[in-house]
Structure 1
Amino acid sequence: MALSRISLLTGLLKLASKLSLRSAQNLGAILGLLGWKLPTESRRVTQVNLDICFPDMPESDRKALGRESMKQTGRTMLEIPLMWEWPVERCLDLIREIEGEALLEQYRADGRGLILLAPHLGNWELAGLYFSSRYRMAALYSPPHLPEFEDYMIRVRGRLGSELVRGDRRGLAQLIGLLRDGGVAGILPDQSPRGKGNAYAPFFGMDVRTMTLVAKLLQKSGAAALITYAERLPDARGFRIVIRECEPGLDDADPVVATRALNASVERCVRRIPAQYQWEYKRMRHRPPGLPNPYKAK
């Protein structure tokens, strides 16, 4: 049964990869708009997040932003088969601009390791392909809910030699070794981490559980960090790779200081192109003890 589900899923991905970028984005926008029109969980979570993060925005503007966000998320979902199945060169040809490339070269000049923080903004799969085409790279990932799908995901994401490592003790040791040796590590910094050993820091004004992993990796490896995303350009013109400096304090020994800097770095990028952020994700679900989960019914 599991194998037949995997075969169906990979078959659908391969079929979707036959689309052009414009067709994939148009179809994705239609699916996203349908998810907004219907009483879906994605719409509800999007509205909760936008109410929290943009309380001073007029309600009509928040709804317009939510509608556009769902369309952009639909585009991202339909672009993923292209990023996974197209030849790498064809994917990289979609990159029209690179903003901050001089900053990247500056940080790589001294041979130190580099952590690239890639939030769920724009097309993070293309950002990963771009950097793995240039550097010896490893990326932290969470195993999919279907274990049999993991081999496929590792193969398509690592077809330029990028190594995918799990977020366990062994995987973290691999990342530290790679960074100490001058390599590059990619991390999605805006996930809501599980378990102990993390800290609470404000994200758009609300204290939420935030990973301390980035600070620990920086402290143990001596690496530097930048934040990046692949911004979707209008009219299916392709993408702009954006590379920016992080807020100061990311490597601070105080986990509160470090996580505040991490969330502030992500928030600054999100505010630049808010419609392309994945607002359908329950980023605010883990709050300090005693405070309510905003996604649960009152």
Structure 2
Amino acid sequence: MTQQPTPPRSLDLALRILARAPLPVLHAAGTTIGAALAHLPNRPQRVAEINLRLCFPAQDAHQRRRLLRRTLQETCKTALELAPVFKRPPEQVLRWVRQVHGQEHFDQALGEERGVLLLAPHIGCWELLNLWVAARQPLTALYRPPRQPALEPILLAGRSRNGARLLPAGPQGVRGVLRALGRREVVGILPDQEPDGSEPFAPFFGVPAKTMTLAGRIAQRSGAVPLLAFAERLPGGRGFDLHFFPAEEAVADPDPAVAAAAVNRGVEQCVRRVPAQYQWTYKRFNTQPDGTSPYPKKRRRRA
């Protein structure tokens, strides 16, 4: 049996300390730190700047600078609010949910008794969405193990506190989610990460993006109802609104390229509602069809 790596005690302690802070304080700190990052050269700023330029070409320089600043502020809020979401009792965290928009879509999907495939992009506080769903229905979620193995126990403990079952993405994980959908449960997938392997390219804000076919394959094989969802962060630390939308039927198309394009259109629909709260600091377009990348290469450290 493989021993689970132990998370750094200093990190766990920092999360516990941050978890005691009120949400408005954490969001105010994120606003301040993000504003500073917008004026200092750093990698997240550069990546977000490139992404925004690619995805919003009609905006002028002033509009993009303003969106970049807000993006970095929201990114910092995401990082800081992770502590209470992972460490406070779930019932306390769920009190931050103010409204649920489109809950009728979620309830209707459950009523069809085909299982629900929840596509949750990296918008706002996606970890809160996980807690809310798991408090109401059996939830199985696929995840990508972090690059630092010591962080995995924190991730798993934080996401599974409300009874959610976490499975690493891979053949065994796919079999697990198909069994969960066969039991008419809810399965959650983060659909907007660049996959490995020879996956197709599909437009995302008009830019070619290597896109996972996993969501489409699961939807096709299971017959589950596909939904899009995200947790919108409200200003002033007032909490969060949840949003649920029906996904296109083409998500389950047998043509992988058609299904991938449908997934990206759904993600884009969500992002356009709260563009500053999307994870623009992620290298979404790192692999292009011609083998190039729009992002600067990492500089190698001198020996």
TM tier, shorter chain?
over 0.9
Identify the match of residue 68 of structure 2 among 66, 73, 76.
Answer: 66
Q: CA deviation at 1:79?
A: 0.5
Superposed counterparts of 1:271-290, under 5 Å = 271-288=272-289, 290=290
Cα distance per residue 1:5-24 (max 9 Å; x no partner): 71111111111111100011
- The percent identity for this pair of structures is 37
Identify the match of residue 19 of structure 1 among 5, 18, 21.
Answer: 21
Secondary structure, aligned partner of 1:249: helix
1:132 partnered with 2:99: no
Indicate if the aligned counterparts of 2:34 and 2:74 stay in contact, CA closer than 8 A: yes
2:150 matched residue in structure 1:
148
What is the alpha-carbon distance in structure 1 between the residues aligned to residue 18 and residue 81 of structure 2? 9
How many residues are treated as equivalent by the alignment?
A: 294
Q: What one-letter code is carried by the residue in structure 1 that aligns with 2:100? A: I
Q: CA deviation at 1:227?
A: 0.3
Q: What one-letter code is carried by the residue in structure 2 that aligns with 1:240? A: D
1:219 partnered with 2:213: no
What is the alpha-carbon distance in structure 2 between the residues aligned to residue 203 and residue 275 of structure 1? 16
Q: Which moved more, 1:26-35 or 1:233-242?
A: 26-35
Q: What one-letter code is carried by the residue in structure 1 that aligns with 2:295? A: Y
Superposed counterparts of 1:71-90, under 5 Å = 71-90=73-92
2:301 matched residue in structure 1:
none
| TM-score normalised over the length of structure 1 | 0.95
What is the alpha-carbon distance in structure 1 between the residues aligned to residue 112 and residue 70 of structure 2? 42
Indicate if the aligned counterparts of 1:85 and 1:156 stay in contact, CA closer than 8 A: yes
Q: CA deviation at 1:4?
A: 8.4
What is the alpha-carbon distance in structure 1 between the residues aligned to residue 155 and residue 18 of structure 2? 16
Identify the match of residue 91 of structure 1 among 90, 93, 102.
Answer: 93
Cα distance per residue 1:118-170 (max 9 Å; x no partner): 10111101011100111101111111223233223212211111000000111
Indicate if the aligned counterparts of 2:7 and 2:154 stay in contact, CA closer than 8 A: no
Identify the match of residue 121 of structure 1 among 120, 123, 134.
Answer: 123
2:186 matched residue in structure 1:
184
What is the alpha-carbon distance in structure 1 between the residues aligned to residue 222 and residue 6 of structure 2? 43
Cα distance per residue 1:247-271 (max 9 Å; x no partner): 3310000111101100000001101
Structure 1 unaligned blocks of 5 or more: none
Indicate if the aligned counterparts of 1:180 and 1:222 stay in contact, CA closer than 8 A: no
1:200 matched residue in structure 2:
201
What is the alpha-carbon distance in structure 2 between the residues aligned to residue 128 and residue 139 of structure 1? 9
Indicate if the aligned counterparts of 1:142 and 1:166 stay in contact, CA closer than 8 A: yes
2:294 matched residue in structure 1:
294
- Spell out structure 1 runs of 4+ moving beyond 4 A: 2-5
Cα distance per residue 1:6-43 (max 9 Å; x no partner): 11111111111111000111111222222211100011
Q: What one-letter code is carried by the residue in structure 2 that aligns with 1:284? A: F
1:37 partnered with 2:39: yes
2:300 matched residue in structure 1:
none
Secondary structure, aligned partner of 1:194: coil
Q: What one-letter code is carried by the residue in structure 2 that aligns with 1:132? A: A
Indicate if the aligned counterparts of 1:53 and 1:204 stay in contact, CA closer than 8 A: yes
Q: CA deviation at 1:3?
A: 7.7
Secondary structure, aligned partner of 1:97: strand
Q: CA deviation at 1:291?
A: 4.5
Q: What one-letter code is carried by the residue in structure 2 that aligns with 1:54? A: F
Q: What one-letter code is carried by the residue in structure 1 that aligns with 2:274? A: I
2:112 matched residue in structure 1:
110
What is the alpha-carbon distance in structure 2 between the residues aligned to residue 46 and residue 159 of structure 1? 32
Structure 2 unaligned blocks of 5 or more: 298-303
Q: CA deviation at 1:112?
A: 1.1
Indicate if the aligned counterparts of 2:119 and 2:229 stay in contact, CA closer than 8 A: yes
1:257 matched residue in structure 2:
258
What is the alpha-carbon distance in structure 2 between the residues aligned to residue 276 and residue 6 of structure 1? 29
Indicate if the aligned counterparts of 2:125 and 2:233 stay in contact, CA closer than 8 A: yes
What is the alpha-carbon distance in structure 2 between the residues aligned to residue 296 and residue 151 of structure 1? 32
2:58 matched residue in structure 1:
56
What is the alpha-carbon distance in structure 1 between the residues aligned to residue 284 and residue 182 of structure 2? 31
Aligned-residue CA RMSD (Å): 1.5
